[in-house]
Amino acid sequence: MAFPFASQEAVALRGAVNFSGDTIAALATPVGTSAIAVVRASGVSVAGLAREIFGETPPPRVAQHADYRAQGGELIDDVLFTFFAGPNSYTGEDTLEVSCHGNPFIAQKLVEDLLARGCRPAEPGEFTRRAFLNGRLDLSQAEAVMDLIHARSERALAAANQQLRGSLGRRMEGLISRLLHGLAQIEAQIDFPEEDLPPENRAAVLVEVESLRAAVAQLRATARYGEVLRTGVRTVIIGEPNAGKSSLLNRLVGRERALVSAEPGTTRDYLEEFLTVGPHVLRLVDTAGLNQNPTALERRGMEKTMEQAADADLFLWIIDATRPIPALPEVVQALLGAGNTLAVFNKVDLRPGFAPPALPYPALPVSALSGEGLARLSEVLIAAADAFRADSGEEIVAINARHGDALRRAAEALGRAATGLAEERPIELVASEMRECLACFGEICGRIDNEAMLDILFSSFCIGK
């Protein structure tokens, strides 16, 4: 699983971050009552600690049953513990995992005992950070660990698993080797400054640079899907007051989440619920109705609706099938398009045989009351969520915002390199742009010497991970 660049990187970085030899410990499971809780420690003194606590150097990777006694001899719990000898552990260091009864008080006592024996409390994400620094994971894989923990849907899980297994790393390796190939053709010439690169070689490198630009653009296009996978498809329910927006939300999530009443203007503020549809998860937002002549309070509700609309991936425009199609405020109307909007004609129980009129959006008849049309609505929602997938490769590649930023800078450098080649600028300048692009590519999988950036990245993890 380790990425070929990662271990070289780790060697370079260990110096940079002053990789101290301390041993960290933390609770790896959530605080609360559960069947079991897991405490773990990682670092140079782990083997010694295991000997001290359990009276022997445990064989690696074998779960053992033992009494856990605190330093003072007090029995804390009977536990299962597993010792992992570095480098064959998650962090790459000697690691100890202790499973105790899932009582937060017991787990806390275990952690306190490990601290009393010389461990230091782990920072958020520090186990994974050590895994990265020790070359066990590249940076995109470390991020995938986080995605895996937070995945809420089948697709998000599949994408995280593939990234953990190096899908993005492999994609980047391919780009890096193509870039290096182009760069090598130029660098060879730089050694002979009196001769410029022959025009046919310039042309060949330009073709390669253009093809790399296209590949980078393709990868950047997966950012939207990445966001959709990581945060859910932001699906905003809009429409006239009383159209049945809240009723539909309740029906979809299967409980009385939002207040419903026959009085228009019931929903004043927006509310959010996660909804799993097939392999996707939607972040469903119910909003205040869009009114032609709002009162002051309704206007404030509508402003919130518009804020939500501005961030939407998808719109469910709920239209009361018993009434004429209402006009929407222009700012909202401008956001709707055939690719992001479903016109949902509600209350068709009151209009048997109703057929939706032609609109520039796919239209569906439903009844939030009877449930009619909701199975079809789910299918359409799944297809709409699938449509965010921009990459048709076998593996799901869906970049995150950090990757997107590095790729944007890579694309800019490639653009400047292409201009330089086309306009016959000095070849050194072209080479320097290509090296800039190489540095941006490298950031994605972890050729990073920026400790502040690593701090930000790993601090978003939980403690114990």
Ligand X SMILES: Nc1nc2c(ncn2[C@@H]2O[C@H](COP(=O)(O)OP(=O)(O)OP(=O)(O)O)[C@@H](O)[C@H]2O)c(=O)[nH]1
Q: Which of 261, 295, 450, 460 binds ligand X (CB under 6 A)?
A: 261
Is the distance from CB of 76 to CB of 110 less than 8 angstroms?
yes
Is the distance from CB of 329 to CB of 306 less than 8 angstroms?
yes
The CA–CA distances, whole Å, from 76 to 70, 103, 116, 118 equal: 7, 11, 14, 18
Using CB distances below 5 to 8 A depending on partner kind, what does residue 296 bind out of Mg ion, ligand X, none? none
Using CB distances below 5 to 8 A depending on partner kind, what does residue 212 bind out of ligand X, Mg ion, none? none
Residue nearest to ligand X (CB): 289
Is the distance from CB of 286 to CB of 267 less than 8 angstroms?
yes
Q: Which of 91, 128, 162, 246 binds ligand X (CB under 6 A)?
A: 246
Residue span binding ligand X (CB under 6 A) among the ranges 28-36, 261-269, 306-314, 427-435: 261-269
Count of residues binding Mg ion (CB under 5 A)?
Answer: 4
Nearer to ligand X, 256 or 424 (CB): 256
User: In degrees rounded to 5, what are phi and psi of residue 302?
Assistant: -65, -35
Using CB distances below 5 to 8 A depending on partner kind, what does residue 265 bind out of Mg ion, ligand X, none? ligand X
316 dihedral zone (left: phi>0; alpha: psi -120 to 50; beta): beta
Biggest CA-to-CA distance, the chain: 84
Nearer to Mg ion, 91 or 246 (CB): 246
d(CA 126, CA 95): 13
Using CB distances below 5 to 8 A depending on partner kind, what does residue 261 bind out of ligand X, Mg ion, none? ligand X
Q: What is the DSSP letter of 360?
A: S
Q: How far is the CB of 377 from ligand X (least distance, A)?
A: 12
Q: How far is the CB of 454 from ligand X (least distance, A)?
A: 46
262 lies in the site for ligand X, by CB under 6 A? yes
Classified as helix, coil or strand, 77 is: strand
Is the distance from CB of 284 to CB of 271 less than 8 angstroms?
no
Residue span binding ligand X (CB under 6 A) among the ranges 99-107, 237-245, 374-382, 396-404: 237-245
Q: Is 405 exposed, middle or buried (0-12, 13-18, 19+ CB in 10 A)?
A: middle
d(CA 320, CA 326): 9
Q: How far is the CB of 258 from ligand X (least distance, A)?
A: 7
Residue 392 tokens read as 């048709």
Q: Kindly write down the DSSP assignment for every residue of 197-243, as one continuous string.
A: PPHHHHHHHHHHHHHHHHHHHHHHTTHHHHHHHHH-EEEEEEESTTS
Residue span binding ligand X (CB under 6 A) among the ranges 195-203, 214-222, 367-375, 402-410: 367-375
d(CA 287, CA 112): 48
Using CB distances below 5 to 8 A depending on partner kind, what does residue 211 bind out of ligand X, Mg ion, none? none
d(CA 456, CA 465): 15
Cβ count within 10 A of residue 211: 12
Residue span binding ligand X (CB under 6 A) among the ranges 72-80, 173-181, 264-272, 328-336: 264-272
Residue span binding ligand X (CB under 6 A) among the ranges 58-66, 136-144, 361-369, 407-415: 361-369
* Peptide bond just before 87 cis, omega within 30 deg: yes
Footprint of ligand X on 170-209 (CB under 6 A): none
Q: How far is the CB of 322 from ligand X (least distance, A)?
A: 8
Is the distance from CB of 325 to CB of 319 less than 8 angstroms?
yes
241 lies in the site for ligand X, by CB under 6 A? yes
Footprint of Mg ion on 207-246 (CB under 5 A): 245-246
Question: Residue 389 corresponds to which amino acid?
Answer: R
Using CB distances below 5 to 8 A depending on partner kind, what does residue 244 bind out of ligand X, Mg ion, none? ligand X
Footprint of Mg ion on 244-283 (CB under 5 A): 245-246, 266-267
User: In degrees rounded to 5, what are phi and psi of residue 397?
Assistant: -115, 125
Q: How far is the CB of 371 from ligand X (least distance, A)?
A: 9
347 lies in the site for ligand X, by CB under 6 A? yes
231 lies in the site for ligand X, by CB under 6 A? no
Q: Which of 266, 276, 419, 432 binds ligand X (CB under 6 A)?
A: 266
Nearer to ligand X, 336 or 437 (CB): 336
Nearer to ligand X, 377 or 457 (CB): 377
Is the distance from CB of 398 to CB of 226 less than 8 angstroms?
yes
420 lies in the site for ligand X, by CB under 6 A? no
Which residues are paired to 285 by β-bridges?
A: 236, 272
227 lies in the site for ligand X, by CB under 6 A? no
Cβ count within 10 A of residue 222: 26
Is the distance from CB of 86 to CB of 40 less than 8 angstroms?
no
Q: How far is the CB of 301 from ligand X (least distance, A)?
A: 8
Q: Which of 53, 260, 414, 417 binds ligand X (CB under 6 A)?
A: 260
58 lies in the site for ligand X, by CB under 6 A? no
Residue span binding ligand X (CB under 6 A) among the ranges 123-131, 235-243, 325-333, 441-449: 235-243
Chain residues in the site for ligand X (CB under 6 A): 239, 241-247, 260-262, 264-267, 288-289, 346-347, 349-350, 367-369
Chain residues in the site for Mg ion (CB under 5 A): 245-246, 266-267
